[in-house]
Amino acid sequence: MRRLLLCLMFVSLGASADDLSEANRLLAAREYGKALPLYATAAKAGNAEAQFRLGEMYWYGDGTAQDLQAANEWMAKAAAAGNQDARESLPILERRKTRGADIDYWMSAYRGEELRSGKFACPAPAFPAVSKTNAEIAATEARFTSWQACYNGFVENFSNAMPVGKVIPQEVLDMMSPAEFERVQAHIDPLYRQIMSDAQAQAAATLAQRDAWEKSTRNFVTEANQRRKQAEIETARVTEDMRYRLPGSTDNRALSGR
């Protein structure tokens, strides 16, 4: 009887190993609905890896509804059986009980405030219609240069925040399931596109205002220089005419009676 029992046990373990191998293949192929019952069978037979994978599927909601309680139970069994991945995952599952709101924040409430506030707010500089003095020109150029440095800093910081998951604290990322992270991406991607689109629109408007100011100021300076030059010519002509009319002038025109 004992020999027969041992034979039956070996047959059972062999079947579980085959089931586990097939379950791993199906999991890799993302055929979760087919992998789940195979993992369940092997897990109930006491296979620690299957218990971990089954707990992971309940955690992620792969092939089934997300069930963190079931995930925790199977992870605990796998950890007790010596599975290292399960031992590392249990504290993360525990954190979800008290920090689930952190995941919700990144999936729906995050607005990217840190990307466009503080030193990255970059309000558009004011441009007068025209600057008529060197002091006004210097002050306007200084405001533009300051804005330009701020905008370049914003762009660099924005680039450093990519890809999307980079801004999320690692301990929060570790708590997320793949489906939850996909929801985070679906929330943040259009948000980031809008932030950059708004910044680019403001930059284009600012550059257009600067170009208009620079053009009108250059025209004013050119016209002012022309008027000054003409005034200098007129002054020189009047001065010359007056010199011709001075008593005792030896100019030929003066001697001829002009």
Q: Taking the C-alpha atoms of 32, 38, 44 and 50 in order, what is their torsion angle to the nearest 10 degrees? A: -60
| DSSP reduced 3-state for 144 | helix
Cβ within 8 Å of residue 186, ≥6 positions away: none
In contact, 108 and 101? CB cutoff 8 Å:
no
Residue 231 and residue 175: Cα distance in Å, rounded?
Answer: 78
pLDDT confidence of residue 42: 92
- Give the predicted TM-score (pTM) of the model: 0.69
End-to-end CA distance of the chain: 149
pLDDT confidence of residue 18: 75
pLDDT confidence of residue 13: 44
pLDDT confidence of residue 10: 35
In contact, 199 and 116? CB cutoff 8 Å:
yes
pLDDT confidence of residue 246: 56
pLDDT confidence of residue 244: 64
Cβ within 8 Å of residue 235, ≥6 positions away: none
CA 170 to chain centre: 16
Q: Output the CA–CA distances (angstroms, integers) from residue 119 to 146, 167, 224, in the order listed.
A: 11, 18, 39
Q: Which residues of the chain have pLDDT under 70?
A: 1-17, 242-258
Residue 75 and residue 49: Cα distance in Å, rounded?
Answer: 10
pLDDT confidence of residue 2: 33
pLDDT confidence of residue 121: 93
